Every structure is written in structure tokens, then in C-alpha cells.
Structure 1
Amino acid sequence: MGTGSLVLFLLLLLARMVQGEVVHDFDKCSWFFQGGVPPRLAESQNWFRICQRYDNHYQYATLYNSELRIPVYSAYRYPCSIGQSAGYRPKIWFYEPQIDNPASKNDMQPCDVPSSHFQAVESDYQKSNYDRGHLYPFKLNDKTSATSTCTLTNAVPERHGANVRWYHQVESFVQRLAWICRQSKRTMYVVTGADNPTQNKMNNRVSVPGLVWSALCCTSAQDLNNDPCRSSNVVSEEVDIPTYDNDFSFAFMKNMEPEANAEHLMVREVQKILGVGKIFDRCRGTTKDDEAETFKEVEALISKLAISTEDQEDISLPIPAEENPAADGDDLATQQADTPLEPASKEVDEVCESTIVNALAPIGRMISLVTNGVSAFARLITTVINIARILMVAILRVPFGIIHDCAGCLTIMVTHLIVTVATVPQDLLGIVASIISDTVGVIAWSARMIKYLVRVL
């Protein structure tokens, strides 16, 4: 180990002992964890505990892996909008200077350094084809709390298509579940993390995670008299949401391949997959006794939220847009109305292509069913013609006393008639029902596709 590396290593050890943002433990910001207890994970000498400090306030907590140069998790709450200034997305994201230099200021600072031994910097993301994916989402809280989420110690590299799906399938529901939680006079504790590092490294330095997860716990805050989040000013949601007056827990997990969908899980399932101890100190739905019932109830809430999301345009949850990686935050930000959108990335094209394929599939089935229906109808007409011919032969033969010759003919006619009456109408009814069902499916898919295309364009 060279002299320079040795000095940096000694500074790294010293950073753990200084009083400030990079801390030895999370005591300074313990209120971001349910019960004041951080998730129980195995220790690593490469991990930094960060009480994320911005505008002279602690905003949330992050466990950071300096070897992979990405966060292990960020822990945050809702409601918890700290500070008075309006939230904004800085053109240059922040970083944590104390990781590199223990003598630096406590607050996060704009990332104007060209490189860092222990953390990701702006230049890593430039021209990388990766989004800076928030763990603590920008839109959950507002004011300076929202601004503070735009730090690279709270971001992991994500393909844009995966980032879009994470937003629609996880972050939007986390926000609405947090609104439901607050409506019942409770607090939502959230821990969002990244795991399963892939072989890919952004800029040959920053690890790209294989999955991202988020665990929620809605319960009452423990210390109401000494809780900065409880005294924060929170803007009213002003949207219609279901009511649910009970504690609950829930979890999401997504493979970060762009086409993969997010999974709905119980918290204990996430703990088992990650191989960690308890994420929450105590929360309803995190034990064998109550997890199945709690999971079922929250799934029902999510179903209601999904229906309301499709039925109405919700301006409070913006449509994701690709942004300039070198400027404003490029995760899923709200674009200004007068700012032109950048062309969609390859991953978005794949998502759109998948949507179009799924929309055309019912049309193909409907065409096939219509063809089968025409065939069955033609078969019915042919049968009716044959029966008419047999009846004509029988009627013509009766006057000449040849009824006994027609007995076999009548038997064939009656049998054919019974079979036709018993089967063909049923086939036609089934085909008509399938055509109606698929027509409804085509209309629904077309509406969703048009809505998606309008948002993209």
C-alpha cells in the first residue's frame, strides 16, 4: 500500500469518529428508523453511516458502501418535510465530502470534484446511459427535504426503462400508501435499498445493482415530544384515497432489468431474500402471526389505488421524463412545461414495443375467432341446405307410396338436425362471447396505449 493510499485509509477511519454527518452510529438521526432501531445487517468496514444533513437539518439516514460506491439503503419517513425553502432539483447533484475528508463541512455539498476514491461523482454518470435512481424519492416530501434527496449517496445507477417501471409500480404506490397512513394519524417509515451487485460497473467504478427493494411500516411514532418530523409542515395531499385505520407493513422488490415487473412481498420475505435480520424493530405484518392477514389487506388497498390511478389523471404524480444527465436530476423528475423532452431511451422503446405487442395480441385472437365464427356459420347454412334437400326428397316420394324407402333418409335427417341444433349454436354463442370479451380487451389496451403515447409525445 502506497503512502497516499495509507493516508486515505487513515482518513477513512478517522471519518467514522468525527461528530457530523458521517457518523459512528445513527443516534443523531435515529427518528428515521421505526423504534429508533436501524435494520439489522452484517457489519462491513467499507460501510459509512450517514445522517444526511442539508440546510442545517438532518433529512434522512443512509448506509453507504464505499467499495461499491452505491448506498446499501436509505431510511426516511412520511410526513417529514423539514425546512422552509421550496424544494428544487440542483443542476449539479450533491455528494458527501466527509467520506473523503473528515475535516469537511457537515452538510452535503455540490459535487464539483473530478473523482473520489470512496463514492460516485457527477462524472461517473455523464454519458453513461444510466439514470441516477433515487432511493429516497424526490416527490415523497417537499421543501428542503426534497432537495436533499438529490445526492449521489442516495442514488444507484439504473437503466431508464427500469427506473420508469420502479416509479410507476413502486414509488407511486408507496406515496399513496403513505398518504393513507398519515390520514389515520400515523407515520410511514420506509427503508429502500439496493442489492445483488452485477458484473457491470458504470465508468468502471460504480457498481450497478441487480435489484432494488422497498419496505414500509405504518405505525405511530415513538417519541412525540422529540421528533423533528412531527413538527414539520406538510402540504395537504388533496386527493381521494381509501381509508385504513390500522398499522401495516408491506414490501416491494424489482429485478432491475427494464422489462421486469416489481413484486409485492411481505417484509419477512424480503429479509429472507436479502439474508438480513429485522428491517423494522416492531411492526404489524412482520411476524408469522399477522403477516398473511396484513398482506391481504394492503394488497386490497393497492388494488383500489391502481383502479383510481387508471380512472383519473393525477397531476400530483408526474409522468416520468428522461432528463439531461449532466444537468437536472435524471431519475423521474417533473419537467417544466416549457422544457422540451429528450428522446426516449432504448429501454423506453422496449417498454413501448412490449405495450404495443400486448395490445395487438387480442386483435389477432379476435380475427381468429371471427374466422372460426364465419366457418361455423357457413357449416350451419350447409347443414340447413342438406336438411331442406332431404325434406324435399321425402315430400316428393310420399305421393308415390315409397315412404318405406325414405325411412333411412328421415333417420339421417333427424340425427343430423339434432347434432346441428345441439352443437352449432353453442359454438356460435361461445365464439360471439369470446369476440365480445376480446373486443373489450382491445378497447382497454388501445386506450392505455394511446394514453401512454400521449404522455411520451
Structure 2
Amino acid sequence: MAFSWLLVVMFFSTKLSICGGDVGDFSPCLQFFYKSSPPKGLTGTPICQRYSNQYRFASLYSRVRRSAWFSAYVYSVPLGKRPSVAWKYEPQLAYPKANGNMALFPPGPIDLNVVESQAVDQDYINSSFSRGHLNPSLHHHEYDDRSSTFTLTNVVPQKAGSNDGPWETLEQTVNKTLAAYCIGKAYIVTGIIPYNNQEHWIKNKRVAVPEYLWSAYCCPQFNNSLPQYLRSAFPTYAAIGRNDRNSTEEIVPINKSAKKQFFGYDVRQMSLATLEIYLKQRFNTVVNVFYDSCNGQSNY
């Protein structure tokens, strides 16, 4: 199916399936976006991701792909080790009047409405893809915030060579940079870029596989001790990472000297403006990640 046709199908399916509560409306969780403004240009089903009766982050979900277009959150300096928690799902995607909190998958058979509305654990088992966080637990301080990221409405099929290699390095780099130099809140949006002409799917044709992942942060205020090499990285910076080692190199070149397990899964860091050019080319529409391109103020 051509990607342009998929966007049309997705748009109308979203219009027909918008639910009440925390699904279908970003208004309860605008605090996770810079200037309370979600990215412009992408269509899907908004989810205010709620865990333990508190909003933790926001995702724009694709019912057709059974995964998110992006997740948006506010960065905080992490504390402790990565939590070991069970994977969760979004009940309101299956039942509009369901409790707004994400829920643990049951130990037995899963409700068919849940299976139809979103990805489940079985989609990823023996699939050759890992569960790739868009909003990573690494970028959060509180235990419940970190635990909330382990929901399948916040992950996409990601090759281990990306998830455990260059993409993880990017997440660590962003963590260290923002912890050291960002004053106040830092807003992050992480999303995917689909294949250009034909969707790729996990083994059972239920969950779509992205060709690339992208991420951008917005730090409106930063301190005056920035080293020279980081002055182009504020107030905002971005990156695109390969999720297919066989993709062409127009967007992200391949590091020919990379280790075998990470070969072809490189990440290219770039300006926000450059990222938005690539998003426009692939989605065939203008995409604005941050309001006013995160026109922040520094103390330097």
C-alpha cells in the first residue's frame, strides 16, 4: 500500500475512533509540550498516558500501525536503575469508557478488543524486533514515571542493533547534556519515520515497522557554561537513527567501521530545521515539532 494512501486511511479511521477520557484529546496533558503546543502536521489518536492516576507523558497513536507516531515528555534527571516491570496496555483504545490508567496485561487470554486495538506481548515474541521505547525510562527521575514508559503504546518494533547500540548512545548523550546544561524544563519528542512506499510489518502483519526513529529536544533556557562544541545543540537539537541496516544512506550515512552487531544502525545528529525537512519529505506535509522552533532564551 502506498504511504500516501495509508495516511488517508489512518486519518479517517482516527476520526471515526476517537474516544473520550484520556484517548482522543491532548488537552488534559498539554504540560508535556513546549508552550502547551503539540507537534503540527501529523495525524493520529492522541493518548494522555496515565499511570497510577497521574498523567506521565503523551503519545500520538496510529490504530492502523498499532504503534505510536511519537511520544512527548518532560525530561528529568534519572535516579536509580532501569525498573524491572511488566508491560502494559491502554484499555481506552479497546473500550472508550474504560479506566484511564494503563493496565497490566492479564496472565491468561487477552480480550479480543484489546488485541484488535493495539499491540500485545505476543506480537513481539520471536519477531526479531525488540520493544523500542520512544519515551525512555532513562529520561525520568521518579520510579512511577520510569515504570509508566513500559506500555506498548509507547514502543515500536526496533532492531536490537539500533536499540542496544547507537540509539541507546544517543539517549545517554541527551541525558548527560540536558542534566549538565539545561535550566528548568526540557521538552523531548521522539517519533518514527515509516518506509516511503510500502509498509513493513512484524511477522504476523499486525504491527508496522519504522524505517527510522527520530528525536528532538527543546531546552528553552540553558546556562552560560556551554562548551564550544555544544553551542549548536541549544536551545534545540535533533537526530535520526536507522532501524534498517539495508536502507539507503541519503538520510543517515553508515559508519563503515562500526561493530558488526551495530553496523547499519547509525544515528545522525542534526539541527531541528534539518529534521523537519526530512519529516516534510517523508510525510508530504509541513511538520513542526516545537512551537516557534523552541525559540528559547539563554543566560550566555
Does the aligned pair in 2 maintain the 1:181–1:188 contact within 8 Å? no
Shift of 1:195: 1.3
Q: Distance in 2 between matches of 1:129 and 1:155?
A: 15
Query: Could you list the per-position Cα deviations for residues 155-186 of structure 1 after superposition, in whole angstroms to 9, with x for gaps in the alignment?
Result: 0011111212244431111111220244xx22
1:272 is the counterpart of 2:277 = yes
Shift of 1:37: 0.4
Correspondence for 2:213:
212
Query: Could you list the per-position Cα deviations for residues 77-124 of structure 1 after superposition, in whole angstroms to 9, with x for gaps in the alignment?
Result: 11288xxxx973323x11111011112110001123265222111110
Return 5+ residue gaps in structure 2 as ranges: 1-12, 246-261, 281-285
Shift of 1:265: 0.9
1:90 is the counterpart of 2:85 = yes
Q: Distance in 1 between matches of 2:41 and 2:14?
A: 21
Shift of 1:200: 2.8
Does the aligned pair in 2 maintain the 1:250–1:285 contact within 8 Å? no
One-letter amino acid of the counterpart of residue 211, structure 1: Y
CA 1:15–1:87: 2 relative to 1, 3 Å: farther
One-letter amino acid of the counterpart of residue 270, structure 2: L
Correspondence for 1:170:
170
- Any residues of structure 2 matched to 1:143-154 within 5 Å, and which? 143-154=143-154
Question: 2:46 is paired with a residue of what secondary structure?
Answer: strand
- Any residues of structure 2 matched to 1:54-73 within 5 Å, and which? 54-73=51-70
1:107 is the counterpart of 2:101 = yes
Query: Could you list the per-position Cα deviations for residues 360-417 of structure 1 after superposition, in whole angstroms to 9, with x for gaps in the alignment?
Result: xxxxxxxxxxxxxxxxxxxxxxxxxxxxxxxxxxxxxxxxxxxxxxxxxxxxxxxxxx
Shift of 1:54: 0.2
1:254 is the counterpart of 2:256 = no
Does the aligned pair in 2 maintain the 1:130–1:157 contact within 8 Å? yes
Correspondence for 2:258:
none
**Identity of paired residues, percent?**
29
Shift of 1:150: 0.2
Correspondence for 1:190:
188
Shift of 1:128: 1.2
One-letter amino acid of the counterpart of residue 281, structure 1: Y
Q: Distance in 2 between matches of 1:37 and 1:285?
A: 13
- Any residues of structure 2 matched to 1:19-30 within 5 Å, and which? 20-24=21-25, 26-30=26-30
Correspondence for 2:226:
244
Of 192-201 and 204-213, the range deviating more from structure 2: 192-201
Correspondence for 2:35:
35
Correspondence for 2:257:
none
One-letter amino acid of the counterpart of residue 73, structure 1: F
Shift of 1:33: 0.5
CA 1:137–1:196: 2 relative to 1, 3 Å: same
Q: Distance in 2 between matches of 1:220 and 1:105?
A: 37
Does the aligned pair in 2 maintain the 1:74–1:191 contact within 8 Å? yes
Does the aligned pair in 2 maintain the 1:32–1:77 contact within 8 Å? yes
Q: Distance in 2 between matches of 1:153 and 1:70?
A: 6
One-letter amino acid of the counterpart of residue 244, structure 1: L
Does the aligned pair in 1 maintain the 2:190–2:213 contact within 8 Å? yes
Q: Distance in 1 between matches of 2:167 and 2:177?
A: 14
Query: Could you list the per-position Cα deviations for residues 26-80 of structure 1 after superposition, in whole angstroms to 9, with x for gaps in the alignment?
Result: 111101101110000143xxx2100000011000000001101111000011128
Q: Distance in 1 between matches of 2:62 and 2:77?
A: 25
Name the one with the larger strand percent: 2
Does the aligned pair in 1 maintain the 2:57–2:73 contact within 8 Å? yes
Question: 1:40 is paired with a residue of what secondary structure?
Answer: coil
Question: 1:22 is paired with a residue of what secondary structure?
Answer: coil
Q: Distance in 2 between matches of 1:208 and 1:87?
A: 25
Q: Distance in 2 between matches of 1:80 and 1:53?
A: 20
Query: Could you list the per-position Cα deviations for residues 220-271 of structure 1 after superposition, in whole angstroms to 9, with x for gaps in the alignment?
Result: 59xxxxxxxxxxxxxxxxxxxx943985110010111352310011111111
Q: Distance in 2 between matches of 1:105 and 1:166?
A: 37
Shift of 1:285: 6.9
Name the one with the larger helix percent: 1
CA 1:35–1:58: 2 relative to 1, 3 Å: same
Q: Distance in 2 between matches of 1:140 and 1:80?
A: 6
One-letter amino acid of the counterpart of residue 259, structure 1: F
One-letter amino acid of the counterpart of residue 84, structure 2: R
TM-score, normalisation: structure 2: 0.74
Correspondence for 1:140:
139
Return 5+ residue gaps in structure 1 as ranges: 1-10, 222-241, 287-293, 295-457
Does the aligned pair in 1 maintain the 2:184–2:221 contact within 8 Å? yes
Q: Distance in 1 between matches of 2:293 and 2:226?
A: 16
Does the aligned pair in 2 maintain the 1:180–1:243 contact within 8 Å? no
Question: 2:216 is paired with a residue of what secondary structure?
Answer: strand
Shift of 1:212: 0.1
One-letter amino acid of the counterpart of residue 37, structure 1: S
CA 1:206–1:282: 2 relative to 1, 3 Å: same
After the TM superposition, list the runs of 4 or more consecutive aligned residues in structure 1 that deviate by more than 3 angstroms.
11-15, 166-169, 283-286
Rg (Cα) greater in structure: 1
RMSD, aligned α-carbons: 3.0
Length, aligned pairs only:
247
Q: Distance in 2 between matches of 1:22 and 1:252?
A: 28
Question: 2:194 is paired with a residue of what secondary structure?
Answer: strand
Q: Distance in 2 between matches of 1:42 and 1:29?
A: 18
